[in-house]
């Protein structure tokens, strides 16, 4: 589940969303989302703020991460 999410500064000066996940075994991981992915996650979870993401299923994050992007590598 999503344990927490905070807005943080990215290396390029753009804001990022740092999402902290709690696994069933109690371990934690973090995932950093760019602004477009963050907006998609908020929409996917019907959340209006990062705080509203707490408790959401991690599979919603997975759906966002699996979406194709328009970014160039």
Q: How many domains does the chain have?
A: 1
| Band (50; pLDDT cuts 50, 70, 90) | very high
Q: Which of 3-7, 47-51, 64-68 has the lowest mean pLDDT?
A: 64-68
Q: Does 70 map to a domain?
A: no
d(C-alpha 64, C-alpha 66), whole Å: 5
Q: Does 42 map to a domain?
A: yes
Q: Does 11 map to a domain?
A: yes
pLDDT recorded at residue 71: 58
Q: What is the DSSP string of 28-56?
A: EEEEEE-HHHHHHHHHHTT-SSGGGGTT-
pLDDT recorded at residue 70: 67
Question: Each residue of 7-44: pLDDT tens digit?
Answer: 999 888 889 999 999 999 999 999 999 999 999 999 99
Predicted TM-score (pTM) of this structure: 0.86
Q: Does 45 map to a domain?
A: yes
């Amino acid at each position: 589940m999503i344990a927490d999410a905070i807005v943080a500064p990215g290396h390029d000066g753009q804001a990022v969303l740092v999402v902290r996940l709690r696994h069933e075994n109690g371990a934690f991981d973090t995932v950093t989302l760019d602004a477009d992915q963050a907006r998609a996650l908020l929409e996917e979870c019907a959340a209006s703020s990062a705080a509203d993401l707490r408790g959401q299923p991690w599979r919603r994050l997975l759906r966002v991460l699996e979406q194709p992007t328009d970014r160039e590598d």
